[in-house]
Structure 1
Amino acid sequence: MSATAGPADPSGLAKDAGAVRVLRRWLGGFVVLAVLVFLFYLPWWVLLSSGTDWPFPIVLGGTVLFAVVFLAFPVMMVLGHGRRRQDWAARIGDTVLGVIWVLFAWSVLGGVLRVALIILGVGGPAGARAVAVGVAAVALGLLVWGFTEAMRLPRVRRVEVTVPRLGHGLDGTRVVVLADTHYGPIDRAGWSAGVARAVNALDPDIVCHAGDIADGTISQRRGQAAPLGTMRSRLAKVYVTGNHEYFGEAQGWLDHMGQLGWESLHNRHVVVERGGDGLVLAGVDDRTAASSGLVGHRADLAGALAGADPDLPVLLVAHQPKQVGQAVSAGVDLQVSGHTHGGQIWPFNFLVRIDQPVVHGLSRHGERTQLYTSRGTGFWGPPFRIFAPSEITLLTLRSSA
């Protein structure tokens, strides 16, 4: 005798789905907690333990400091980057993130050195203290230098790019690329004005902003973004969204950039001409746009190139380097991107390389397509740049002749 299956119980399915969501949240929270514990524990071990035999007051004071910062860090990040968007908290949390990352990275090297010294028979408190002091000194020096690098006016990086299909009339076209300005909790209105003056001094034909304008709302960052409206170009100023726009007001930033005199290339293109020759400037939304839920937001390269003359060369602005795969398929001549920050704080560049095909610089993909990846004009989060300098990029386009 066979049993007949009844209809599925909707309430049971809903309960199962809810249980899965709860389990995922707990699992995600556990992973984050484990990573934080490891990030803080290793520097504590290298600096205060690992056989250093420091006097008890030093160990106690250092341990208390690590514990307080460890407990305060997630609170500052939630207050700063959660719904409340408290800039003072974000400044503290972001700075702590940068400091602990640098300490962790160099503690890894210090730990390796410590083990090597033990193997070589040069152990004992003296060796452990030497390693601890060395790690602390290197970290402090790099943090001071990294902060200076992050806050300074970006250097201009000049690159010539040969675009075989470029007409002679456009030979020598000067394209300035900005990306990842990330106007944020630290008020950098003066820095932004300096960037605008530097761009204007380059006398560009085209200016591209490859996304991630700001972290925060337009009302919060209006003053920092205002100098974008003072930038000048002969042919066009174009902008596309980055992934960080989709943490807040993506459509609002598109509209605001239009008010500042920029062409927002929201899956569309414009054509610029000089000397009887044309160049298609196309732009697409960030690859995360579709998951934002905003109506009409997604990376649509076919839509961006719809109606474009196939005989004209194409310069595509797309936030993430990994979007180059679609550019290759579409026969794009040159893509400009940002997103990677060049790693921003060494050795994070190695982790970025796992996710992106290129970390920075000019690269070739397929027979026709070239990609230029900017290290970024500003910085995200931690106010440090270590072995990954910021840049304002000047691309000079050359025809094959």
Structure 2
Amino acid sequence: MTDTHEKRSVDSAAREARQRRLRRLLGLLPLIAPVLLWTVPCWLLLYAGQGWPVPVTAAGTVLFALGLTGMPLAMVRGHGKRQQDRAAIVGDTLLGTSWTLFTWSVLLGVLLRLALSVAGVGDGQDRARIVAWATLGTAAVLLAWGYAEARRVPRVRRLDIELPRLGAGLDGTRVALITDTHYGPLDRARWSARVCDTVNTLDADLVCHTGDIADGTAERRRAQAAPLGTVRATRARVYVTGNHEYYSEAQGWVDLMDELGWEPLRNRHLLLERGGDTLVVAGVDDVTAESSGLAGHRAHLAGALDGADPEHPVLLLAHQPKFVDEAAAGGVDLQLSGHTHGGQIWPFHHLVRIDQPALAGLSRHGDRTLLYTSRGTGFWGPPFRIFAPSEITLLVLRSPQPTA
């Protein structure tokens, strides 16, 4: 047991160090990211030996310059004090486009050019032009596909999870999970209704939303969130706050979810009982809640479990996977989280892994605790999902099967 605690402490310290490095990097990103995202592909596509005619080079340079200047301006107008949805759509789309161009111009600029050189294809100019066209074609296909992936109703991901402490009376309990819907500048009211219709086909005992409902206040995004009121569950619909609620008057979202018939689990729990067995369903505010300065909001596991029988298994809702260290220390059996989006646009998942202990799927932490991290139901910002499909999750809880 001592070795386990020491390992957990070492892992936690290493994660905190990675998070400090990430925060320092993120502090510089608003300054350096736009320059890198636009100038690197501009150079690799136009000035790396292609020998394009002057009008082509000039027109391409102008387009990249417009992207470099237009993206930050649109982001500021869209996500700053003005909160202009049209500007946000333009800025977010340019951000996703530039990230994809940057990624594939670098990858193909190195790997494909090397392969062509080894194969002896053409001269230097021919290879440079082949790489440029391949990059543009790849980016265009991925952006079109990624847009369709982001806007579609997510596929249902089904998973059986055995909880050693779950009583036989609760075997087969169906838990539907949606998270990170991120209702925002793009009006997705119809998408929201279709998502809720899909959830209603799952015949869930418990439906959970683990936060980041929207980008914007409850008053502003009410129409997109309203279909959540149609979601059905045989036992309960429960919700916890995500970090984005704390950018947009979190208490308003808590009140709206309550109005729509969802039970906000703000550092509290309810009991799910069947067949003489009990499951504790608990929830905590997001880990950023306390720093928001909003009175009474913080992540408090002890408060969430106060009064619960420690012999009963615990299902915990916590928006960010990083809360799992505290959950494991508190004896939680299963934590449900979102937040990561599975990286959303490859290869952004490498940065997510610096900040979070899990990217997507089921993972074990400590002796007892399982963590399920959803890739999210919606998308944030850029309307693209590339190699990180969204999901609606159906988790079927299983009790241990008796041995023969």
Superposed displacement of residue 32, structure 1:
2.6
Which residue number corresponds to residue 59 of structure 1? 57
In structure 1, the residue matched to 2:205 is 205
Match of 2:99 among 74, 98, 101: 101
Determine helix, strand or coil for the equivalent of 1:257.
helix
Q: State the distance in 1 between where 2:385 and 2:62 align.
A: 28
1:95-129: CA deviations, max 9, x gaps? Answer: 00000000011011022136626974765211000
Mapped to 1, the partners of 2:62 and 2:93 lie a distance apart of: 19
Looking at structure 2, the residues matched to 339 and 231 of structure 1 have their Cα atoms a distance apart, in angstroms, of 21
3-state secondary structure, aligned to 2:133? helix
- 119-128 or 142-151: bigger deviation: 119-128
Letter aligned with residue 71 of structure 2: F
Q: Which runs of 4+ in 1 moved over 6 A?
A: 27-30
Query: How many angstroms does 1:388 deviate by?
Result: 0.6
Indicate the percent of aligned positions where both proteins have the same amino acid. Answer: 64
Q: 2:66: which partner in 1?
A: 68
Matched residue pairs, number?
375
**Structure 2 unmatched runs, 5+:** 1-24
Higher mean C-alpha displacement, 118-127 vs 165-174: 118-127
Give the residue type in structure 2 aligned to 1:284: V
Q: Which runs of 5+ in 1 are unaligned?
A: 1-26
Cα distance between partner residues in 2 of 1:357 and 1:216 = 28
Q: Cα offset for 1:251?
A: 0.9
Q: How does 1:276-315 map to 2 (within 5 A)?
A: 276-315=276-315
**CA-atom RMSD, angstroms?**
1.5
| 1:262 aligned onto 2:262 | yes
Work out which of the residue numbers 27, 34, 37 in structure 2 matches 1:39: 37
Q: Distance in 2 between matches of 1:265 and 1:140?
A: 43
Letter in 1 for 2:375: R
Compute the displacement of 1:345 (Å): 0.5
Secondary structure (helix, strand or coil) at the match of 2:297 reads coil
CA offsets 1:288-341 (integer angstroms, 9 cap, x no match): 111101111111001111111111110000001110000000000000000000
Q: Following superposition of structure 1 onto structure 2, how do residues 149-160 of structure 1 map, counting pairs within 5 Å?
A: 149-160=149-160
**Would the aligned equivalents of 1:46 and 1:110 in 2 still touch at CA under 8 Å?**
no
Give the whole-Å Cα distance in 2 for the aligned partners of 1:29 and 1:198: 40
SS in 2 for 1:51: coil
1:202–1:117 Cα change, 3 Å: closer
- Determine the C-alpha separation between the residues in 2 that align with 1:91 and 1:115: 34
In the other structure, the counterpart of 1:15 is none
Letter in 1 for 2:311: D
3-state DSSP class of the match of 1:207?
Answer: strand
Structure 1 counterpart of 2:395, one-letter code: L
- 8 Å CA contact retained: 2:324, 2:371: yes
Q: Are the aligned partners of 1:113 and 1:131 in contact in 2 as well (CA < 8 Å)?
A: no
Aligned partner letter, 2:43: W
1:80 corresponds to: 78
1:169 matches 2:172: no
TM-superposed deviation, 1:217: 1.1
- 3-state secondary structure, aligned to 1:272: strand
One-letter amino acid matched to 1:298: R
8 A contact 1:117–1:127 mirrored in 2: no
Secondary structure of 1:316's counterpart equals: strand
The aligned amino acid for 1:186 is L
Q: TM-score with structure 1 length normalisation?
A: 0.91
Shift of residue 35, structure 1, vs aligned partner: 2.3
In the TM superposition, residue 33 of structure 1 has moved relative to its aligned partner by 2.4
The aligned counterpart of 1:327 is 327
CA pair 28-173 structure 1, distance change in 2 beyond 3 A: closer
Q: Which has the larger radius of gyration?
A: 1
Cα pair 2:280 2:315 within 8 Å, conserved: yes
Aligned residue identity for 1:41: T
